[in-house]
Amino acid sequence: MFVYKEGFARFSTVPYNLDPNDKANKYIHLTNYSINKHNMKNIENENADEIEGGCKVSLSTIKKKVEAEWKVNWDEQIWTEIKDCCLKAMVSAQNDM
């Protein structure tokens, strides 16, 4: 297994919530671009890496935001957890590989 340091994350165009009245709102629960692109009419920015919803956002962009706004050390906290999650996924599937 090789884990690339540059990848992307997907976000929905509407913040997630557990309100039962919003249960049918597919924009809250799904991060597929093919669905969220229909809800991006109010997003004017053409640089998809700067849009925080309904698209792919590079890990380097997220890293900058997390470190600047949340004062979290990406490499020691977040990236370590990402690698741990990948390792556990591989271990869970090792008998099928």
The series of mean pLDDT values per 10 residues for the chain, 97 residues long, is 87 84 85 78 51 70 91 93 94 88
Distance, CA of 93 to CA of 49 (rounded, Å): 32
Distance, CA of 37 to CA of 63 (rounded, Å): 24
Distance, CA of 51 to CA of 53 (rounded, Å): 6
Instruction: Give the sign of the dihedral formed by CA 24, CA 25, CA 30, CA 32.
Output: positive
pLDDT score, position 37: 77
Distance, CA of 81 to CA of 12 (rounded, Å): 22
Domain boundaries, the chain: 8-96
pLDDT score, position 43: 52
pLDDT score, position 77: 93
Instruction: Give the sign of the dihedral formed by CA 14, CA 62, CA 55, CA 43.
Output: positive
Residue 60, token pair as written in the block: 């380097």
pLDDT score, position 41: 60
